[in-house]
Amino acid sequence: MNPEFGKILIVLGVVFCLVGLIILFGVNIPFLGKLPGDIHIKRDNFQFYFPLATCILLSILFTLVLRLFRK
Protein backbone atom coordinates (compact mmCIF):
# COMPACT_ATOMS: atom_id res chain seq x y z
CA MET A 1 0.00 0.00 0.00
CA ASN A 2 1.03 3.54 -0.70
CA PRO A 3 1.51 5.80 2.37
CA GLU A 4 -0.14 8.67 0.46
CA PHE A 5 -3.32 6.60 0.19
CA GLY A 6 -3.38 6.28 3.98
CA LYS A 7 -3.05 10.04 4.40
CA ILE A 8 -5.89 10.63 1.96
CA LEU A 9 -8.11 8.22 3.88
CA ILE A 10 -7.32 9.99 7.17
CA VAL A 11 -8.12 13.41 5.70
CA LEU A 12 -11.37 12.12 4.21
CA GLY A 13 -12.31 10.61 7.57
CA VAL A 14 -11.69 13.90 9.35
CA VAL A 15 -13.71 15.80 6.74
CA PHE A 16 -16.61 13.35 7.09
CA CYS A 17 -16.47 13.72 10.88
CA LEU A 18 -16.53 17.51 10.61
CA VAL A 19 -19.44 17.45 8.18
CA GLY A 20 -21.29 15.06 10.50
CA LEU A 21 -20.71 17.35 13.48
CA ILE A 22 -21.92 20.35 11.52
CA ILE A 23 -25.05 18.48 10.47
CA LEU A 24 -25.60 17.19 14.00
CA PHE A 25 -25.07 20.49 15.82
CA GLY A 26 -25.86 22.86 12.91
CA VAL A 27 -29.20 23.80 14.40
CA ASN A 28 -27.57 24.76 17.70
CA ILE A 29 -24.93 27.07 16.22
CA PRO A 30 -26.61 30.49 16.54
CA PHE A 31 -24.97 32.36 13.64
CA LEU A 32 -24.89 29.50 11.12
CA GLY A 33 -27.42 30.18 8.38
CA LYS A 34 -28.23 33.71 9.56
CA LEU A 35 -25.21 35.67 8.42
CA PRO A 36 -25.62 39.10 6.77
CA GLY A 37 -24.79 37.76 3.27
CA ASP A 38 -27.41 35.02 3.28
CA ILE A 39 -30.21 35.52 0.74
CA HIS A 40 -33.78 35.16 1.98
CA ILE A 41 -36.73 36.19 -0.21
CA LYS A 42 -40.26 35.82 1.16
CA ARG A 43 -43.37 36.55 -0.91
CA ASP A 44 -47.04 35.64 -0.49
CA ASN A 45 -46.82 31.97 -1.45
CA PHE A 46 -43.11 31.72 -2.29
CA GLN A 47 -40.02 31.46 -0.12
CA PHE A 48 -36.42 31.26 -1.33
CA TYR A 49 -33.41 30.89 0.97
CA PHE A 50 -29.78 30.52 -0.06
CA PRO A 51 -27.09 30.74 2.66
CA LEU A 52 -24.40 32.35 0.49
CA ALA A 53 -22.26 33.82 3.31
CA THR A 54 -22.56 30.61 5.34
CA CYS A 55 -21.37 28.56 2.35
CA ILE A 56 -18.38 30.85 1.86
CA LEU A 57 -17.50 30.69 5.56
CA LEU A 58 -17.71 26.88 5.64
CA SER A 59 -15.64 26.65 2.46
CA ILE A 60 -12.89 28.77 4.02
CA LEU A 61 -12.94 26.67 7.20
CA PHE A 62 -12.78 23.39 5.27
CA THR A 63 -9.94 24.73 3.13
CA LEU A 64 -7.94 25.71 6.22
CA VAL A 65 -8.49 22.31 7.83
CA LEU A 66 -7.42 20.48 4.67
CA ARG A 67 -4.33 22.65 4.32
CA LEU A 68 -3.33 21.88 7.91
CA PHE A 69 -3.52 18.16 7.27
CA ARG A 70 -1.80 18.39 3.91
CA LYS A 71 1.47 19.78 5.33
Reported as a single tens digit per residue, the pLDDT across 29-47 is: 677 677 888 898 999 999 9
Q: Does the pLDDT of residue 24 top 70, yes or no?
A: yes
Residues ≥6 apart with Cβ < 8 Å to 39: 48, 49, 50, 51, 52
Pairwise CA distance, residues 1 & 15, whole Å = 22
pLDDT at 26: 63
Q: Does the pLDDT of residue 27 top 70, yes or no?
A: no
Q: Could you tell me the pTM of the whole model?
A: 0.56
Are the C-beta atoms of residues 66 and 15 closer than 8 Å to each other?
A: yes
Please give the average per-residue pLDDT across 10-36, as a whole number.
78
